[in-house]
Amino acid sequence: MTAAPMIDVRGVVYDYPTARALHGVSFTVEAGAVLAMVGPNGAGKTTLLRCMAALDNPTEGEIIVAGLDTRGDPRGVHAAIGYLPDFFGLYEELSVRRALTYAARSRGMSPGETPRAVEEAAARVQLTDRLEMRAGELSRGLKQRLAIAQTIVHRPRVLLLDEPAAGLDPEARRALSDLILRLAGEGMTIVVSSHILAELEDYSTRMLMIRDGAVAGGGVVAAGSGARHGLQVAVAFADPPQDLPERLAAIGVTLERHDGEEVVLLAPEGEDDAALLARLIGAGLKVRSFQPVRRTLEDAYLAEVAR
């Protein structure tokens, strides 16, 4: 029996008064995944995220987040998620501590547990030394961190981020990537929307392509550095044997494709480069070159586009 997905989107249609934005979108996201929602501007990503955040009701279809129906229990969904819109605002006159205190209290935390949650959230985004600063005095990158801290202060199970890296400098982007990886490591299910693939590369484990208000390609697919479909390696053998596929299969390795003189192998998830190399040599194969292949988000995107 498989566990219920953390996010289940079923046949979602969304109409603005003058145009249809989503045309029967369906997909699921398992718990702990970091889903990159990609697609061009105007594809419907923000509308879909707002429906998933129970800020807008779909015209048709249903969305289950953390086991709650966004239409039937919108306030329950609000309590279970954190959502950072693409154009977010802050209470610029409040100190960082007060902004986080309000965020925690307004999201249902008790007065007793709030101070600790505030300290924790500030520490997670490295704002501990700026707790007494006014939000309006922070730089763009630090404001982004505060906004994320506000969305995670109540320890949500699902985090929805809409174009979170827009306008950030490379250093702030790196800090954001690290933060998302840390949160994912803690078991949070994260959906990040962007039209810039490079910014999603470092932390995405799954990818969903949205185009013209519909799911494009093959739905949710493995992608990015955290791809969990296994380790890909380009290997050149000196004098490759006739029964290469069988010998590889015997040590649990799949021959994916021939690429000139090289072959691309797929080792099981969690396989280590060095261990794989040792097993190939141990199987009597003469390895001339050995190069791990990184399946980038762009590879996944282009593969899906080509479907």
Q: Which residues are at the interface with another protein (CB under 8 A)?
A: 13, 15-20, 53-55, 57, 59-60, 74-75, 78-79, 81, 83, 85, 87-94, 98, 102-103, 105-108, 150, 154
Q: Judged by CB, which is closer to another protein: 77, or 197?
A: 77
The answer to whether 28 and 73 have CB atoms below 8 angstroms apart is no
* Nearest residue (CB) to another protein, 77 versus 297: 77
Q: Which two tokens stand for residue 270?
A: 């969690």
If DSSP codes are grouped into helix, strand and coil, which group holds residue 209? strand
Q: Collapsing DSSP states into helix, strand and coil, what is residue 97?
A: helix
- Tell the smallest beta-carbon distance from residue 123 to another protein (Å): 21
Which lies closer to another protein via its Cβ, residue 81 or residue 300?
Answer: 81
**Minimal distance in Å, beta carbon 14 to another protein?**
9
Asked whether 82 and 71 are in contact (CB, 8 A), the reply is no
Distance CA 271, CA 201 (A): 21
For residue 67, the minimal CB distance to another protein (Å) is 17
Residue 78 CB, shortest distance to another protein, in Å, is 5
- Residue closer to another protein by CB (options 77, 300) is 77
In three-state secondary structure terms, 100 is helix
Q: Is residue 213 a contact partner of residue 182, using CB atoms and an 8 Å limit?
A: no
| 41 vs 110 by CB, closer to another protein | 110
Q: With DSSP H G I counted as helix, E B as strand and the rest as coil, what are the percentages for the chain, rounded to 5?
A: 35, 30, 35
Smallest gap from residue 186 Cβ to another protein (A): 21
Largest Cα–Cα distance in the chain? 72
- Output 104 or 263, the one with its CB closest to another protein: 104
- What does the alpha-carbon distance between residue 282 and residue 251 come to, in Å, rounded to a whole number? 10
What does the DSSP assignment read for 10-68?
A: EEEEEEETTEEEEEEEEEEE-TT-EEEEE--TTSSHHHHHHHHTTSS--SEEEEEETTE
| Least distance to another protein, CB of residue 88, Å | 6
